[in-house]
A and B are shown apart, each in its own frame.
Chain A
Amino acid sequence: MSGFRKSIQESIPALRRYARSLTRDAEIADDLVQDTLVRALRSEHLFHGEDTRSWLYTILTNLNRNRLRTLARRPLHAPLADGDAAGMAGPESGQRDIERALASLVPEQRAVLMLVVLEGLSYREIAEVQGVPIGTVMSRLARARAQIKSYLDGERPALRRIK
């Protein structure tokens, strides 16, 4: 296997993790990863030993943005999984809370937070992935964290009332 393919192969678990954190839906997430891999392989001949990691995150981030644009033009259907979330209790409920808090973020902010917290990219690498100045990355990160806090602060009492 070429060095290029090997480095892509090694990135698959991390790409799946990143995609899952962006979409909440394992099927859609894996479709995004597959499309990312196909695109990367098509550009194999353009490659001269650069770092593939940020590049793969860039492709996946762009594909996800394209996907959300397509969705935005269709009538909205709430995912079925949301319906039973309020009834959950126990150790699972904390995970549901964070999932829903993340779903309340605008896509660019969510991507920044995931790339920092989950994927361990530097702020500079994220600026390159999103094609924005580093200051924009910092303000997206700050807004994401503030939004999650206010979502979770407001969310918990509402959940108790439902139960």
Chain B
Amino acid sequence: MIDRSIPVTDDELHAYVDGQLPADRVAAVEAWLASHPDDMARVATWRAQAEAIRARYASVADEPVPSRFNLETLASADRSWRRMAAVAAAVAFIVGGAGGWFAHAGYDRARGATPGGYDTFTADAMKAYRLYAVEVRHPVEVPASDAQHLVDWLSKRVGYPLSAPDLNAAGLKLVGGRLLPGPTGPAAFFMYENAAGERYTLYCGKSTAPDTSLRYREGNRASAVYWKSDEVAYVVSGQSDGEKLRNVATIAYEQIDRRPPRG
């Protein structure tokens, strides 16, 4: 028997068109449509849209697959490219070392004694996130395969023993990192990525601002969590999903905070 007592919802009309309606509701929806011409017309419109979309794009899947999508070739090209990137980063490090030191001193003078507070640090970190999170080919200078070198190098340039926190608990793996100009001098930038390609970054540099615990800032296309601990300010940035980002930031915060204080 058809159960006419439960009203048909819009969601059910969509599910009916898409073949996702539970079998025990099909008869009820069809009975409803027979007596509701407006809904019947909407269903017909949606079907016609779906037909037009399939008429336009379905045939793409029948095209022969171009040779550029050969998986063996793609995998080995990617491996050799990443080896090259590691070599290039090591060369840049050696060449850039001496010049970078003087540039750094000039930079500090130009900034005067401005301490890197919450606002400037967070703004710079979010800018860096938006700039590099979308990079497919060159997201980092030094890849995670060279993690020890990366951490040693950035610690030396920032002037504080840093670490790249282990964010496996949030499904994130280290992609690598780079050196950036920060509000008070050199800043370290670590990038992480999950299996779905979503990226989170940790940006940190020395700061004389007062210590704070986690502070959340929501932006348009990126959000950030800031904290200051010992001599360093940290900002974790990610896409504007507050819940996930706070989780990532908390894991990073706890690891960094648990380390013995410097000296």
Which residues of A approach B to under 8 Å, CB–CB? 1, 5, 8-9, 12-14, 16-17, 20-21, 30, 33-35, 37-39, 41-43, 46, 55, 58-59, 62-63, 66-67, 69-70, 72-73, 94-95, 97-99, 102, 113-114, 116-118, 122-123, 131, 138, 141-142, 145, 148-149
- Which B residues are within 8 Å of any A CB, using their own CB? 10-11, 14-15, 18, 20, 45-46, 49-50, 52-58, 60-63, 65-66, 68-69, 71, 74-75, 78, 130, 133-134, 136, 195-198, 221, 241
CA–CA, A142 and B9, complex, Å: 12
Q: When the two chains form their complex, are residues B74 and A37 in contact, meaning their CB atoms are under 8 A apart?
A: yes
Chain B residues, Cβ within 8 Å of A1: 71
Q: A17-B57, A41-B74, A63-B197 are in contact. Are A12 and B52 (CB under 8 A)?
A: no
B11 / chain A contacts, CB cutoff of 8 Å: 138
Assess whether B61 is in contact with A55, with CB atoms less than 8 Å apart: no
Chain B's closest residue to A46 (CB) is B195
- Taking A63-B136, A116-B18 as known contacts, 20 extra A-B pairs with beta carbons closer than 8 A to each other, sorted by chain A number, are A13-B60, A13-B62, A14-B61, A16-B65, A17-B60, A17-B61, A30-B68, A41-B71, A41-B74, A59-B196, A62-B198, A70-B134, A94-B55, A95-B55, A98-B49, A98-B56, A114-B57, A118-B54, A145-B49, A149-B49
Give the distance in Å from the alpha carbon of A71 to the alpha carbon of B213 in the complex.
Answer: 35
Q: Which among B11, B54, B57, B68 has the highest number of chain A CB atoms within 10 Å?
A: B57
Closest residue of chain A to B199, judged by CB? A66
Q: Compute how far the CA of A59 lies from the CA of B198 in the bound complex, rounded to whole angstroms.
A: 8
- Main SS class of interface, B: helix
Instruction: Show 29 residue pairs from A and B whose CB-CB distance is below 8 angstroms, ordered by the A residue.
Output: A5-B71, A13-B63, A14-B61, A16-B60, A17-B57, A21-B53, A30-B66, A30-B68, A38-B74, A41-B78, A55-B196, A59-B196, A72-B221, A94-B52, A95-B55, A97-B52, A99-B56, A114-B57, A117-B49, A117-B50, A117-B53, A118-B57, A118-B58, A123-B15, A123-B18, A131-B241, A141-B14, A145-B49, A149-B45
Q: What residues on A are CB-neighbors of B66 within 8 Å? A: 30
B contact residues around A131 at 8 Å (CB): 196, 241
Please give, as numbers and ranges, the residues of chain B lying within 8 Å of A17 by CB-CB distance. Answer: 57-58, 60-61
How distant is B115 from chain A, measured CB to nearest CB, in Å? 30
B71 in contact with A9 (CB, 8 Å): yes
Q: What residue of chain B has the Cβ atom nearest to residue A21's Cβ?
A: B57
A41 cross-chain contacts in B, Cβ below 8 A: 71, 74-75, 78
Chain B residues contacting A117 (CB-CB under 8 Å) are 18, 49-50, 53-54
Bound together, the chains give a CA A95 to CA B59 distance in angstroms of 13
The 8 Å CB contact of B69, one of A33, A62, A118, is: A33
In the complex, are the beta carbons of B62 and A34 less than 8 A apart?
no
Task: Write out the residue numbers on chain B whose beta carbons fall within 8 Å of the beta carbon of A142.
Answer: 10, 14
Q: Is the CB of B53 within 8 A of A113?
A: yes
- A5 and B70 alpha carbons, distance in the complex (Å): 10
Q: How far is the CA of A26 from the CA of B69 in the complex (A)?
A: 14
B52 partner residues in chain A, CB cutoff 8 A: 94-95, 97-98
Contact partner of A20 among B57, B78, B134, CB < 8 A? B57
Residues of B within 8 A of A21 (CB): 53, 56-57, 60
CA distance A55 to B195 in the complex (A): 8
- By a CB distance below 8 angstroms, the chain A residues around B58 are 17, 118
Query: In the complex, A123 Cα to B22 Cα: how many Å?
Result: 13
Indicate if the CB atoms of B61 and A37 lie closer than 8 Å.
Answer: no
Q: Are the CB atoms of B60 and A37 closer together than 8 Å? A: no
